[in-house]
């Protein structure tokens, strides 16, 4: 039986390895996606004991939620599947704008319920902050939806420390999702300590830094996508980052593991992080990611990995 981790102070218990689903129906994010392959990825996750699925309205838009809803329906039972989704984006005159207003968040939850073909959402995030809505009012709207049984837990995503504090003024925030990886550790200064103090679970996205921390690249690797514009992948910084990854590879070899598994295992040792949501484009990638749970890091190894990536 897969060990379950509790998310923050909620009553949600999940496999520490979840599934990020922006490549499941995320046609606006990745080219040439197959909906059937996306559904196969979700099936593979559930069949292998992953019960934490992370999606969002903007993945598609809408299509990721729809595909997950179809898979859940075909299984005939929700079981212990924990579904997280997000809202904040809307189209106005063909352009995407952000809206955290209570009325729009309620509308977003109702629409997500319909697409997911379910009567409750386990974790609903405000995906991005807008510029006008007081964050405690936005979260207050989600608290009312929680009282109504339409959501079970409240999350915010991409919030600054100031926005997070305002959002959590009444103690309603259960989860924060933001970018965090060994090469981007800014949240360690204020955000992670605040989360630990408040019992807020921190869910990192981009944990493998667009593949850089997976150990698959060399100095000769070229990128035709947006990574070529990312400072992490440019010039001497790219070379330095590759050297750091090679030092992790030494630890991984000693354990008979892959670099990615060691990196992901390291995150699970960080206070405040209860679960990870690495993505997958193919069903077989799901089983590979689960090998992370076989990696046990000693206190010395945890410290060594941290020191390799200290600024």
Instruction: Judge whether 268 and 276 are in contact, CB under 8 Å.
Output: yes
State how far the Cα of 253 lies from the Cα of 81, in Å rounded to an integer.
Answer: 34
State how far the Cα of 196 lies from the Cα of 291, in Å rounded to an integer.
Answer: 27
Mark whether 59 is an active-site residue.
yes
Q: At CB < 8 A and 24+ separation, what contacts does 249-256 make?
A: 249/215, 251/301, 251/304, 251/305, 252/215, 255/295
Catalytic residue among 13, 30, 57, 59: 59
State how far the Cα of 20 lies from the Cα of 44, in Å rounded to an integer.
Answer: 13
278 phi-psi bin (left φ>0, alpha ψ -120 to 50, beta other): beta
Active site residues: 59
């Amino acid at each position: 039986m897969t060990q379950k981790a509790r998310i923050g102070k909620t009553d949600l218990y999940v496999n520490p390895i979840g599934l990020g689903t922006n490549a499941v129906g995320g046609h606006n994010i990745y080219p040439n996606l197959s909906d059937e392959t996306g559904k196969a990825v979700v099936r593979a996750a559930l069949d292998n004991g992953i019960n934490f699925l992370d999606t969002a309205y903007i993945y598609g838009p809408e299509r990721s939620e729809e595909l997950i809803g179809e898979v859940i329906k075909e299984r005939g039972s929700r079981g212990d599947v924990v579904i997280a989704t997000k809202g904040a984006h809307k189209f106005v005159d063909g352009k995407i704008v952000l809206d955290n207003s209570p009325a729009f968040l309620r509308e977003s939850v109702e629409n997500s319920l319909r697409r997911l073909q379910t009567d409750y959402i386990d974790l609903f995030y405000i995906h991005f902050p807008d510029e006008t809505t007081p964050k405690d009012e936005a979260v207050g709207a989600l608290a009312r939806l929680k009282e109504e049984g339409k959501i079970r837990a409240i999350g915010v995503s991409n919030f600054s420390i100031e926005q997070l504090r305002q959002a959590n003024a009444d103690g309603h925030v259960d989860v924060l999702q933001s970018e965090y990886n060994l090469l981007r550790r800014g949240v360690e200064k204020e955000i992670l300590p605040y989360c630990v103090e408040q019992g807020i679970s921190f869910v990192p996205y981009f944990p493998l830094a667009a593949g850089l921390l997976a150990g698959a690249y060399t100095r000769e690797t070229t990128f035709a996508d947006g990574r070529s514009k990312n400072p992490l992948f440019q010039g001497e910084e790219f070379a330095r980052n590759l050297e750091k990854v090679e030092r992790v590879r030494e630890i991984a070899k000693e354990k008979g593991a892959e670099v990615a598994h060691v990196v992901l295992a390291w995150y699970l040792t960080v206070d405040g992080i209860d679960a990870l949501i690495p993505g997958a484009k193919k069903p077989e990638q799901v089983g590979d990611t689960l090998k992370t749970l076989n990696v046990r890091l000693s206190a010395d190894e945890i410290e060594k990995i941290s020191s390799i990536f200290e600024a």
